[in-house]
Amino acid sequence: MSKKITTTLTQLAFGAGTALGVGVTATQSIAEEANWSGYVENATYHRDGVGISKFRNTAQAEFVKPIDSVGRWHNVTLNGTFRATYDGVYDINENEFGKNATEPYLGSNWHPEGSATGGPFLTAGVPFPCENDPSLCRNLDDYMDHKERDARFPEFNDELDFIRELYLDATTDLSNGDQLSVRVGKQQVVWGKTDLFRVLDVINPVDYSRHNIYDELEDIRIPQWMLNVEWRMGPTKTFDDSNLSMVWNFDKFRPNNLGTCGQSYRILDAGCFFSSYMRLDTLPGAAFPGGANPYGTAVPIIHDVKRPDWELGNTQLGLKWEGVYGDSTFSLNGLVYRQQLPSLHFRPLAPGIPAPAADGVFDIHFPWVRMIGGSVDYYSQTMDAVWRLETTYSNGEELPRDTNGHKRTDMLRYVIGFDKNQLIPALNPNRAFLISAQVFGQHILEHESDMPDFEDNWIATLLFKGWWQNDRISPQIILAHDIRAGATAVAPSVEWIPDDHWKITLGANIKFGGDETFPWSVNGNQPETYEPLARFTNGPIGVANQEDEVQLTVRYSF
Amino acid sequence: MFKKLVIAMAVVSSAQGSYAATLQDVENSFYPYKNGMPTAPGISVGMTIDQNNWQVAKDVLDPAMLEQVKQGNYTIKVGETDSFDLHPNYIAATQDRLGKVKLGNETGQIEGADAGRPFPEEPSMSDPRAGEKLAWNFKYGYNWGDSAAIYPFYWKFRDMESGKLERTLKFNFHFLNFTHRVNQEPKPAIEPNPSELFRGTYVQVLEPFDVKDTQLLIHRFEDDAKRDNAYLYLGFQRRVRRLSTGQVTDAFLGSDIMIEDFEGYNGRISDMKWTYKGTRNMLLPFYKHNEMPLATDMPAESDGYQFVDYTGKGACFPNVTWQLRKVYEVEAEPVDPNHPISKRIHYMDAQTFTIPRTSVYDRKGDLWKIWTIGQAHPDYHLPKNKGSGVSIDDAFTMIDVQANHCTTGQFKGQVDPELSPPSKFSVQNMRSSGR
C-alpha cells in the first residue's frame, strides 16, 4: 500500500512537473498553510420490507494549499480530497446484503418469477462471486471482483480511491494578455449544465453502487488521473468570454461501478445478472441437434471482462470551446472515450450456432465512443427564467440485442432545462423557491426491434425547493418520470442546519413501475418476460421499484 | 475657469430644471465641510446618546434608529466630523463632464455619464427629478473605487432577542468597474467589453462547509433597464448555473438582506420612484476604524487586522462612533405594485454618496428593517487603503424589527487592484476556481 502511495505521489509530481515545465522538488517553498475542511457523516437508510439497506459512515477531508509562484506560474495550489467509508449494512443486515444474501430467483428484488428463471434457464445471481464462486470470480476479474470487505470499505482498493482527488492548479499569463491554466492530477472534470443526467458529463465514470442514481454526482463520480489545460482568452470583440480547453485522461480506463450482486444498490440489477448462470446442462440431450447435450456444467453469463490495459493508445481525449455571448453561455464539446457501461458480446458455441459457448455466454467489452455535443443557456428577462439545452451525438456505443448479441449505433441525447427562482408570498414572503424542470431525451438512431431499449424515450424531472428560517430549513421534492418505461421516482426531503457544523437530512425515495416486459427471453420467444432484458426497458427507476426507502443522514462538518 | 462656467451653464437642457452645474457646485459637493463642520443643537463631540437622553437626537437621528436608542437597544457615541475626501481623479472626472450629463425622458435613462459624479449640484425641491439624480450619483459613486475586495467578510445571523449566534458565513467579495474608471488603468473603461458591462461583483463563500465553494458572479450592464446577468457555482454540483435575477427581493443566502438591499440599494434606477425629501445635518456611522474598540473574538488575520465589534441588543449594532454629516433624504417607492416593500427611505451622505442608513417599510407601511452600513475613513484603516479616496464600507447591520432578527457584517475592505483583476469576473474563472 505504501509503495502505491509513493508511486501515486510520484506520478503527480511527474505530471505536475511536466505540465509546468519546472521540476517540483521537496524543497519548493510553501507560502501559506493548507486550509483543511471536511466532515463525518452517517447515512442510515431503511428499505420497505427489507430493513436497513445502508449504514454508511463516511469521513471526508479536503485541503487547499497555496504555493508561492513557481517560475512564471501563479495561483499555484495543491488540492486534495480524501474519503473513507464503512458501510455497516453487511454486518447489520447480512441476511439481505452481503456474501450470504442469496435470492430465490434472478430479479426477485424487482419482479415476479417468470418462465426464464429457474430450471434450465437463468439461476439466481451469486452474491459476491469472489467470496462464493472462484470460477465466476476469475471471469469477472477486474470488474465485479469485490469481496464483502471491499463493499464495507470501498475506498481502500487497488486504485487507492481513498484519495478521491489530488491535483495541482497553476496559471500563467500569456504575452497577449490571455491566460493558460493547468490542472493536473486525480480529479473530476465536469462538462455540461444538467442535473441528474449525464449527457456531456461523461468524462469521469460513476459509482452507482453508492446509491444508484440518487446521490450527488460529485460524490459518485470516480476521479481519474487527468490533465486539464485551459486557454482563457477572456472577452473579445464578439464574445464576453471565450475559452478553449483540452482534457487528457491518462488514467487506466475504469468502467462505471454497477454494484456487485449482494450489494444493496445494483443498478438495473446488472450485478446479479452478470453473476448468474444458465443451467443448460440440465436440458435433456434430445433438446440439442445430434441428441447430445454439449454442456457439461452450468454456463456462466459472463466469460471474461475485456477491460483495456493501460497504454498511451488507450488514454482518452476531449476538447471544449466554451464562452459567453450576450445573455447566453455556450459550449461545443468533443470527446473520444470508452463506453463506461458494459457491452455484452455474445459468444456462440460454434460459428453460426445460436447457442452460447459452454464457458460463458458473453464477454464484456468497453468500445471506443466518439462524441460531439454542446450546450447553451439563455436568461429570458421576460420570463425571468433560464432555459438550457445540452445535447450530444455519439458514434460507437454498443447496445444489446436479444439474439444477435450487440449492435453499434449512433445515439442522440439531449436535455432541455428550465430554471426559475420564484417568490410565492403565500408560502414564504422573503425567500424565493427554486423550480427546476428538465426533459431528458434519448434516441437510438440505428434501433432494431430486438433491442431491449426504446428507440425514443424521455425522462422528465422536476425539483421544487424552498428555504425557511434563514436557510436553515430546506424542504424539497424531486420527481422523475421515465415516460416509456412508465416508472416514477418521488424523493421528498427536508434538510435542517441547526448550526454551522451539523446538517440533518430526512427524506424518502419511493419508486413506481418496473412492469415492462420484453417479448424475448433465453427460453425462446415465450410470452413476454422480465429476464434478462426487460431490465433495460424498465430503466434504473423501474428496476428499483421495490427499493422504497426512508433515509436519514447526519453530518458534522468542520 | 469663468469661460468653462459659462459654457457649462449654457449647455444644460431645460428639461432638467433651470439649473446648470458649476465648478463651485463640484467644490461644494466634494468638500462640504471646508468652511466648517456641521452642527446641531444639543449635539457635541464625545457625548453619548442613550435611552436616558434620546430626545436630544430627535432632529439628527432618523426615526427608526432613534426608536432603537429610545428603547435602550443601542447607545451612540458622537465622534468628530471628518471630511471623507474622495479621490482627486473622481473629482476631476466630475469637473470634466460638467454640462455633459443629462437625464433621459424616462426614469433610468441617462446620457453623457461615463465617469465622475453625474449631478454635483445641490438638489432642489422644485426639481421633480432631483431624487433620481441623487440615485444616479449613488449608482455612479466612488463606492469601492475602480476595484476593491472585502477579503475576508464575515456575516452573522443573530436572534436579536436572545443574542444567539445562529450562523456565521465567511466570504470574499470582489468588485470591479468595467466602465466609469478614473484611477486604475485602463481608464475610463476596460476593453473589449462587447456587452457593455458596467460593474462586476464576484463572491466566494469560504465557510461554513455546507455552503463552502459557492461562488456568485453578477454582471451589471450600462443599460439600467437590463437586468443583471448572474451566475452561481455550487461546489457540490461543480458547474455554473445561470440564475434568474428578477427576484431581487429574495433573501441572500438566508440573511435578512435582500439582493436589492446591497450597498444601500442594488437595483435598477427604473425600478423605483425617487423623491428628494430634503437636506439636513444628521448623525451617520462614519468613523476612523483604527480608533474604535475592535473585536477580539474574531479569527486572527495574518496582518493583525481587527474587525469592527458589535454591541447593543442581540449584538446587532456596530460599536462605532457616529458623526454629524450633511445628508440628503431620498424616498424610493417601488414601481412594481407586487414588491414586498412600500418604500425605502435612504439617508445619503452628501459628500461620499454612500448610503449608510436606510429604513425599509413593508407593504402595509410599517417599519420592517433598519439597514446600516458603517463608513470607515480610508486613511485610518489598512495601510494600503490610505490615500485611496474611497469611503470604506466597514460594518453593516440589517435589523428585521418585525422578526426581531439581525444580520451583521464585519468587513476587511481592501482597495487593491491586484485582488480584483478583470480575469476574476469571468464565468470561466468560476469553473476553474471551483472545487
**CB distance B247–A193 less than 8 Å?**
no
Q: How confident is the prediction along chain A (558 residues), in pLDDT tens digits per residue?
A: 333 333 444 344 434 444 443 333 333 444 578 999 999 999 999 999 999 999 999 999 999 999 978 899 998 999 999 999 999 999 999 999 999 999 999 999 999 888 888 888 899 999 999 999 999 999 999 999 999 999 999 999 999 999 999 999 999 999 998 999 999 999 999 999 888 889 999 999 999 999 999 999 999 999 999 999 999 999 998 999 999 999 999 999 999 999 999 999 999 999 999 999 999 999 888 888 888 999 999 999 999 999 999 999 999 999 999 999 988 999 999 999 999 999 999 999 998 888 899 999 999 999 999 999 999 999 898 898 999 999 999 999 999 887 767 999 999 999 999 999 998 989 998 889 999 999 999 999 999 988 888 999 999 999 999 999 999 999 999 999 999 999 999 999 999 999 999 999 999 999 999 888 888 777 766 667 888 888 888 999 999 999 999 999 999 999
> pLDDT tens-digit profile of B300-327?
899 999 999 999 999 999 999 999 999 9
Q: Which of B197, B244, B405 sits opposite A384 (nearest CB)?
A: B244
Q: What is the pLDDT of residue B234?
A: 87
Q: Which of A181, A237, A432 sits opposite B247 (nearest CB)?
A: A432
Whether the CB of A428 is below 8 Å from some CB of chain B: the reply is: no
* Mean pLDDT lowest among A162-166, B2-6, B393-397: B2-6
With bands split at pLDDT 50, 70 and 90, how would you rate the model's confidence at B15?
very low
pLDDT exceeding 70 applies to what percent of chain B? 96
Q: What is the mean pLDDT of residues B417-433?
A: 91
Q: Which CATH class is domain A2-557?
A: mainly beta
SS (H, E, C) chain B: CHHHHHHHHHHCCHHHCCCCCCHHHHHHHHCCCCCCCCCCCCCCCCCEECCCCHHHHCCCCCHHHHHHHHCCCCCEEECCCCCCCCCHHHHHHHHHCCCCCEECCCCCCEECCCCCCCCCCCCCCCCCCHHHHHHHHHHCCCCCCCEEEEEEEEEEEEECCCCCEEEEEEEEEEEEECCCCCCCCCCCCCCCCCCCEEEEEEEEEEECHHHCCCEEEEEEECCCCCCCEEEEEECCCCEEEEECCCCCCCEHHHCCCEHHHHHHCCCCHHHEEEEEEEEEEEEECEECHHHCCCCCCCCCCCCCCCCCCEECHHHCEECCEEEEEEEEEEEEEECCCCCCEEEEEEEEECCCCCCCEEEEEECCCCEEEEEEEEEECHHHCCHHHCCCCCCEEEEEEEEECCCCEEEEEEEEEECCHHHCCHHHHCHHHHHHHCC
Q: What is the pLDDT of residue A526?
A: 65
Q: B147-433: CATH homologous superfamily? A: Lipoprotein localisation LolA/LolB/LppX (2.50.20.10)
Calculate the average pLDDT of chain B.
Answer: 93
Q: What is the pLDDT of residue A243?
A: 95
- What's the complex ipTM? 0.86
> Measuring CA to CA, which residue among A465, A490, A498 is closest to residue A551?
A490
Q: Please, which residues bridge with residue A443 across strands?
A: A412, A456
Q: What is the pLDDT of residue A5?
A: 37
Residues of A whose CB is below 8 A from B429: 232
Q: What is the mean pLDDT of residues B66-81?
A: 98
Q: What residues of chain A, 463 to 492, have a C-beta less than 8 Å from chain B?
A: 467, 469-472
**CB distance A423–B250 less than 8 Å?**
yes
Q: What is the pLDDT of residue A31?
A: 54
pTM score of the predicted model = 0.89
SS (H, E, C) A47-71: ECCCEEEEEEEEEEEEEEEEECCEC
Q: What is the pLDDT of residue B11?
A: 44
Mutate to test the interface with B, among A379, A381, A465, A467 (most CBs of B within 10 A): A379
- Nearest-angstrom CA–CA distance, A148 and A89: 11
Q: What is the pLDDT of residue B19?
A: 66
| Structure-model confidence comparison of residues B55 and B248, the more confident one | B55
- Nearest-angstrom CA–CA distance, B138 and B130: 13
Q: Which DSSP category does A269 fall into? A: G
Q: How far is CA A75 from CA A9, A65, A118, A183, B199, in A?
A: 21, 11, 62, 11, 24
> pLDDT tens-digit profile of B120-164?
999 999 999 999 999 999 999 999 999 999 999 999 999 999 999
Q: What residues of chain A, 121 to 140, have a C-beta less than 8 Å from chain B?
A: none
Residue spans in chain B of domains classed CATH 2.50.20.10:
147-433
> pLDDT tens-digit profile of B213-247?
999 999 999 999 998 888 999 888 888 988 887 77
